[in-house]
A and B are shown apart, each in its own frame.
Chain A
């Protein structure tokens, strides 16, 4: 049972972490409107193009990536609509989020023992895996929404990491010895909150659409999601697939459980999962080598 002093300390920690959420800049309006559009099932690629063409910086980046070595086809693409069609809506969203939030996604996560860039790599792999996983959902889930949810699912780690510094070994030990159910529970025991709750608080601050908020909050406990369960289970399994494929964020990699209720929402067997891992591996190599090195160079 916790002591009064312990409870006060936990409250102070939660307050301090919540203040960090308030310090995070709001998303540029073009990105937040882009995410809002993607969250609507009836949107078209023209809606995306119309939003981007009002932002010169994002338009330039999309054209630059569409013309870079790995995505170009030996012909110059000068129109935004052709570039968006060429890259696909998901890649455009990835460019928008990646280019506006480097301070969140590219920083090292010291508290997790994770180097700079690993959070972005893991997020991108999870996005690709989630997009593939939801193809097996009993009810249709937008692949664009799945990709975006996977890309954002762990953003809370960027805010919570510093509060875990110096405790990484103890957290790993706690998981290993079974004192906490998984790494999320270990975060809760130490801080009184966890990266999923903080990610959800940030999603609310950014006014993200409800399905994305649900995915950020419940991706480790999809059975607790009140709605959008196909999507939330998809992110849950996409996250695990990314970790099994070798991409995590340091000490918490693989320190989570499979929520076995997934069969009620998605049907995939071991051969399906093997195929998903191969697709993610292949697409990640292509994407990382092109889009994001291009973004880095342009920064």
Chain B
């Protein structure tokens, strides 16, 4: 079984049945998983921050770092790989939070808000989410079955 590892600010797309697309150690970062209903085309994006305005140069080099540049790029690349703009199933995992009344450290929450806003602009919305809480997550998706699994140290793994 081949596994494609997706780093922070990166994305991967696969249409090889049986392949696994995986990203490790999501804290406040969010994995955006997009797949066609038959799960033959799967994309996974690892978003680190909400807005690209904070570093335009980096956004050009690695658009996947930010929600507002990463999601359009993921969808554009999926089109190149055969997505015909038909229905897409979106799942989200990550966006962990730490309680901070000053709101400075609530990056996970800000990431999720930005991601939902960008998805909405493409008339897309998540059908399942495993987000928030103060936990670290690893997530992977099986191309072909479309099964999405989330795991966290000390908590085991579960299907999303």
Residues of A within 8 A of B (CB): 112-114, 168-169, 171-172, 240, 243-248, 250-251, 253-258, 260, 263, 268-275, 277-278, 281
Contacts and interface: CB of A to CB of B under 8 A. Distances in A.
A7 B106 CA distance: 39
Contact of A113 (B107, B108, B134, B154): B154
Interface stretch (B34-42, B47-55, B78-86, B120-128): B47-55
Interface in B116-160: 134-136, 153-155
Chain B interface size, as a band, is: 20 to 34
Name which of B55, B58, B98 has the most chain A CB atoms within 10 A of its CB.
Answer: B98
Given A245-B28, A254-B135, A172 B65 contact: no
Contacts of A274: 49, 51, 54, 107
A244 B100 contact: no
Interface in B84-119: 96, 98-108, 110
A247 B29 CA distance: 11
Contacts of A263: 102
Nearest to A182: B134
A258 B65 contact: no
Given A169-B154, A244-B28, A248-B27, 13 more contacts: A240-B105, A245-B29, A246-B8, A246-B24, A246-B25, A247-B27, A248-B136, A251-B153, A251-B154, A258-B102, A270-B107, A270-B110, A274-B49
B136 A253 contact: yes
A170 B48 CA distance: 30
B154 A277 contact: no
Contacts of B32: none
Contact of A114 (B55, B96, B110, B153): B153
A287 B28 CA distance: 22
B26 interface: yes
B71 to A, nearest CB: 18
Given A253-B27, A254-B134, A275-B55, A240 B153 contact: no
Nearest to A284: B8
Given A171-B154, A246-B27, A248-B25, A260 B136 contact: no
Given A244-B27, A278-B65, A258 B105 contact: yes
A36 B55 CA distance: 38
13 contacts: A244-B28, A244-B108, A246-B8, A248-B136, A250-B153, A251-B154, A258-B99, A260-B102, A270-B103, A273-B104, A273-B107, A274-B54, A275-B55
